[in-house]
Structure formats: C-alpha cells, structure tokens
Amino acid sequence: MSQYRTFNAADAVEYAQQFGGVDDPSALVSAEEIGDGNLNLVFKIFDNQGRSRVVVKQALPYVRCVGESWPLTLDRARLEAQTLIEHYKHCPQHTVNVTHYDAELAVMVMEDLSSHRIWRSELVKGAYYPQAGRQVGEYLAQTLFHTSDFFLHPHKKKAEVARFINPEMCEITEDLFFNDPFIEHERNKYPAALESLVVSLRSDDALKIAVAGLKHRFFADAEALLHGDVHSGSIFVADGSLKVIDAEFGYFGPIGFDVGSAIGNLLINYCCLPGLLAPREAAEGRERRLSDVQDICNQFASRFLELAKEKTRDVALAYPGYAESFLRKVWRDTLGYCGTELIRRTVGMSHVADFKQIEDETMRIECIRSCITLGRTLILAADHIADVDALIARIRQAG
Ligand code: SR1
Ligand code: MG
C-alpha cells in the first residue's frame, strides 16, 4: 500500500525537521511553496530567524501546469534524485546537492540555493554572468563523460541504463519535441500570424526526415546519463557560481540532446532580446549570448577530449582520433536537438518567459518567427555547420 500523500506547508516543515540534515531541526518553523515549473511542488523551509535553510521538493501524480487530466509517474522523483546524485559525484561544483529522497512519498530534500537566481530570469533582464557558459560546458563534459562507455565498465554501464529507464518522461519529450510541432495538434500554441510558417514545417519533407532521425537517436542512442531538460530555467546562477537542478527527465540518451538543449535556450534568448530590451542593450546582450554559446561548446569539447585522453577505459574507444570522431557525431546531434528546442518552445505547448515577457505583440511575433526559422535552419544544415564558429557565423547571417 503506497504511503503517498500530497504535502502541504506543515508536512514539508515536519519532513525537513526529520530528514533535512540540519543541526537544529526544531528551529525549522515554516515553509513557502515556490514551485513555478510545469510539474512539481517545491517548498522553501525557513528557520525561526526567517532564513531559508533547505528545499523540499515533491512530485505530484499529474502534470501541474495541466492538471489531473494528465497523470504522470511518481517514479520521476526517484529518477530525478538519482540523476542529480550521480551528476553530483562527477561535478559537485555545478550540481545541486540532494541530501535525502523517499521514492514512496516522491519527495527529496536538497540544498537551499537562495543566494542564486534562475538563469532564465537573469537572461530576460539582460544580466550577464561571464563564467556561466564555461561552467555549463564543464558540467556537461564531466557528467556526460563519466556516465558514458568511455569511462564506465560495460557491465556497470548496462546496469545503469536499466536503473535509469524513464519511459514516461521520455514520452513527453518524444511527443513535445519531435511530434507535436510538426503535425496539427491541440497542444500546439502559436500566433495566428505565423500559421503559414508553421504549416510549411508540416510539409517540409527534408525537415521531417531530419526530425525523425533525431527522434530515432533519442530512442536508441544510450550514450550517457543525460539531465534531459537542461534549459536556462533548470540552472541557478550567482557571481562565479552555477548549479543545475531539476533532472526528472534523466535517462541514457544522446549526448547532443543535453548540449543542444543548453545552447538552444541561449539562442531563444538571443531571438527574444530585441523585444525585451532597448536596441543598444539588445545588441550587446545578443553578443553575450553568442559568447555564452561559444563558451559552452568550447569548454564541453575540450574537457571531454581531455577526460577521454586521460580516463578512457575501453581499449577500442581509446584509439587515437576516436573521441574526436565521436564528438563530431555529438556536434551534429547538438545542432539538430538545438533546432528542435527552438521549434518546440515556439510552436508547441511549453512556452518560456523570454517570449511571454515581450509586451509589444508585433515584436513578439517577429521574435517567434526568427526563432522558428533559426530552428529549422539548424535542423536542416546540421551536417554542414562544421564547428561553433561556423554556427555563430550562420546565426549572424540569419540576422
Ligand atoms: C508537460 S511538461 C512540459 C515541459 O516542462 C518541462 O520543464 C520540460 O521541459 C517539458 O518538456
Ligand atoms: Mg524542470
């Protein structure tokens, strides 16, 4: 018999007193529910001095932003906690510290990040964190290399793939990224003024074949333990510090999916800045986004190659030149998955603050149009964009 019950603030405080790992549990006195994501309850737990001390997160048995009509597995709390714990082992400086979880209650306790801010909210304001790009690249290289066949013993790797089987959360991604935006679907949501552009996606054979390939690789390429949803709303930043949260979509998939999701959300911001800021600030902000993208890609590739050189355990995979060749496949995937992120955030159901906060409707439509167009270009041209410099040149060319 399951013990699951949905927490209220008092339950969250009591839970934190028991499992929060603080020295003075009786000092924990109140909680505020701060969850603004699509799926879960998130409670900040405060002490009697009004300081927030730990966070208690609970999965609901349905998609929060839709309601009980869309049921969703509670096992995602275990998958999230275990993914974050695994990533923390390999990159503690950039992964939130989960200190306790309970699969039955679908609850976890984690470090309080009140000194940080959500990166997306900062990007929308035009704030710049000069180290963030390199830090994301470092997180991706460390977590993805150490959970890949380059590093893990083949028996361990297969056991890990089984431990992280995540069919229901993967199905959400499979539908929202690779199906909905390319067919007529009731979940899609885009401005009527863009109807002809969206209709043209549905009948673009080359695009649909490329998207089918991306979906197929998302099904089949168990390359590493992905975060699975590493957008700018899953990343906390502070001066010199960056922490990744929210890994309930974690599973073994293609490495380019994580890299593409991360840079995709910076490119979404790039497309939106002309609608969010005055022209001069927008132009400056766009240059910063491009250098963030460059930093992520360069740090990811150089660290991954360094780790491959030092730590690859498999004799065949250690052959000189193989890691470079593998990273060329990852790069092509990165461009494609980045393109699908741009399209699903504009045509599909999961819109983001970057677009929502553009007040001028005409401007918002033009920003959405440029995002869809860039997404389509990246998916179609993925085999012809050799490296990050060529990507930046393409983006500038697109205007
Ligand atoms: C129904 S869940 C919609 C989106 O929210 C999550 O954050 C993921 O990005 C997912 O695709
Ligand atoms: Mg999330």
**Are residues 315 and 186 part of one domain?**
yes
**Residue 95 token pair:** 């992964």
Query: Tell me, what's the pLDDT at 391?
Result: 98
> What are the tokens at 171?
């199905």
Chunked into runs of 10 residues, the chain (399 residues) has average pLDDT values of 90 98 97 92 97 97 94 97 98 98 98 97 97 99 98 98 98 98 98 98 98 99 98 98 98 99 98 98 98 98 98 97 98 98 98 97 98 98 98 91
Q: Tokens 């949803």 correspond to what residue? A: 229
Nearest atom in ligand 1 to the alpha carbon of residue 344 is: 11
Cβ atoms of 349 and 189 within 8 Å: the answer is: yes
205 and 79 together in one domain:
no
Distance 168 CA to ligand 1 centre (A): 12
Query: What pLDDT sits at residue 1?
Result: 55
Are 151 and 86 members of one domain?
no
Instruction: Looking at the structure, tell me whether residues 155 and 196 fall in a common domain.
Output: yes
Residues 67 and 138 placed together within one structural domain of the fold: no
For residues 96 and 144, state if they share a domain.
Answer: no
156 is in an annotated binding site: no
Residues 75 and 151 in one domain: no
In a domain, 4, yes or no: no
Residues within a 6 A CB radius of ligand 1: 37-38, 63, 172-173, 176, 229, 350
Question: What is the Cα–Cα distance from 262 to 330, expressed in whole angstroms?
Answer: 14
Range of the domain at 99: 9-111
Report which protein residue has its CA nearest ligand 1's atom 8.
Answer: 229
Same domain, 67 and 130: no
For residue 231, what are the CA distances in angstroms to 187, 234, 258, 259, 269? 20, 5, 9, 10, 11
Write down the pLDDT at residue 46.
98
Single-letter residue type at 60: L
User: Under a CB-based contact definition with an 8 Å cutoff, are residues 217 and 254 in contact?
Assistant: yes
Ligand 1, pocket-test mutation among 179, 230, 350, most atoms within 8 A of CB: 350
In angstroms, the CA 276 to CA 355 distance is 9
Establish whether 40 is an annotated binding residue.
Answer: yes
The interface predicted TM-score (ipTM) is 0.98
Judge contact between 230 and 119, C-beta under 8 A. no
Q: How many domains does the chain have?
A: 2
Starting at the edge strand found earlier in the chain, the sheet holding 241-244 runs 117-118, 235-238, 241-244
Domain termination site, one of 111, 129, 162 = 111
248 annotated as ligand-binding: yes
* Whether residues 159 and 223 fall in one domain: yes
Give nearest CA residue, ligand 1 atom 3.
350
State the Cα–Cα distance between residues 59 and 207, nearest whole angstrom. 36
- Quick check: is 270 in a domain? yes
Residues 40, 246: Cα–Cα separation, whole Å? 10
In a domain, 3, yes or no: no
Count of C-beta atoms within a 10 Å radius of residue 187: 13
Q: How far is the CA of 64 from the centre of ligand 1 (A)?
A: 10
Q: Would 2 be classed as within a structural domain?
A: no
187 has binding-site annotation = no
Domain at 92, CATH number? 3.30.200.20
Tokens of 369: 């149009």
Same domain, 242 and 387: yes
CATH code of the domain in which 315 resides: 3.90.1200.10
Ligand 1 atom with least separation from CA of 349: 3
Q: Ligand 1 atom 5: the closest Cα is on which residue?
A: 38
**Does 113 count as an annotated binding residue?**
yes
Cα(101) to centroid of ligand 1, in Å? 22
d(CA 47, CA 24): 9
Instruction: Specify whether 133 is located in the same domain as 102.
Output: no
Residue 176 CA, ligand 1 centroid: distance in Å: 8
The answer as to whether 1 is a domain residue is no
Please name which ligand lies nearest the alpha carbon of 172.
1
Please identify, by atom number, the ligand 1 atom nearest to the C-alpha of residue 177: 11
Pairwise CA distance, residues 91 & 362, whole Å: 43
Ligand 2 midpoint to CA 21 (Å):
24
Residues 157 and 37 occupy one common structural domain? no
Residue 262 belongs to a domain = yes
End position of a domain, from candidates 111, 128, 149? 111
Domain end call among 90, 111, 132:
111
Long-range contacts of 87-90, Cβ-Cβ distance < 8 Å, separation of 24 or more: 87/139, 87/143, 87/225, 87/227, 87/244, 87/247, 89/146, 90/142, 90/143, 90/145, 90/146, 90/147
- 153 inside domain: yes
Question: Hunting for tokens 């109807």 — which residue is that?
Answer: 195
Protein residue with its CA nearest to atom 11 in ligand 1: 173
Nearest CA to ligand 1 atom 6: 38
pLDDT the model gives residue 79: 98
Tell me, what's the pLDDT at 382? 98
CA of 316 to the centre of ligand 2 (A): 37
